[in-house]
Amino acid sequence: MTTIRASSVLLAALVAGSDLAAQTRGAIIDLTYPFSAETVYWPTADGFRLKVEAAGVNEKGFYYSANSFCAAEHGGTHLDAPIHFAQGAPPVDRVPLERLIGPGVVVDVRERAARDRDYLVSAEDLIAHERAHGPIPEGAILLLRTGWGKVYPDRRRYLGTDRRGAEAIAELHFPGLAPAAAEWLVRNRKIGSIGIDTASIDRGQSQRFESHQILAKAGIPGLENLARLDELPAKGFEVVALPMKIAGGSGAPLRVIARLAR
């Protein structure tokens, strides 16, 4: 009887898992945080501000609403254009769309980042991912999952400090990509772009933003402050990451989604 009962439980679990997989096939997952007064920006940047210009029934008798907003380029879920760290490289409006739409790959370093909030994602992490899941494909949107999204938008936990101004930069603590890993990617893989669930591709304690520099010189955009990476598989989905098309912009607010394979 015990064996039969155990087999029944296992079968039910497998059926439930199959149903869940069927429900999620083709699902669209929004990897974007809303822009609001809570949006996380760099300590030296002004935050997002929304001004209500109209909201209500007007003199002609119909409802009408309109707002204006003000925000720094780099904050919340946003794009780093290559020109952000490479003179003469493409600004936002000249980033090829082919770099912003492609097969998604998630490299999961949550366990290591949980033990070290200044963790650097290494070339060895990328190689280990490929051993387990196959090569990173050409044109991939490579996403680094550190687990930091679980504390957004708590600035103290997410950034390491809730202070603002230049003095706060020394207090930033969050994981990022090792420069040696950025070099490995540029030399060995032809990715479209790279994203992360922290405030920067470089870790919080970086002084020279070497990974940004390496990637930008290779024309590779960065996607920062990504949401819900914990809901993605290691592969088998497409990413569409479309920024506000700011002429000459070094960065821009980004709407990015993942579409799971059907």
Annotated catalytic sites, by residue?
84
- Torsion angle (degrees, nearest 10) of CA 129, 133, 136, 137: -170
Q: How far apart are the C-alpha atoms of 159 and 204, rounded to whole Å?
A: 7
CB-count exposure of residue 221 (10 Å: 0-12, 13-18, 19+): buried
The closest of 230, 146, 122, 236 to 196, measured between CA atoms, is 146
Helix, strand, coil percentages for the chain (3-state, nearest 5): 30, 25, 40
The C-alpha atoms of residue 150 and residue 244 are separated, in whole angstroms, by: 26
* Residue tagged 């592969």 (tokens): 235
Q: Please state at what angle helix 210-217 crosses helix 179-188, rounded to 10 degrees.
A: 20
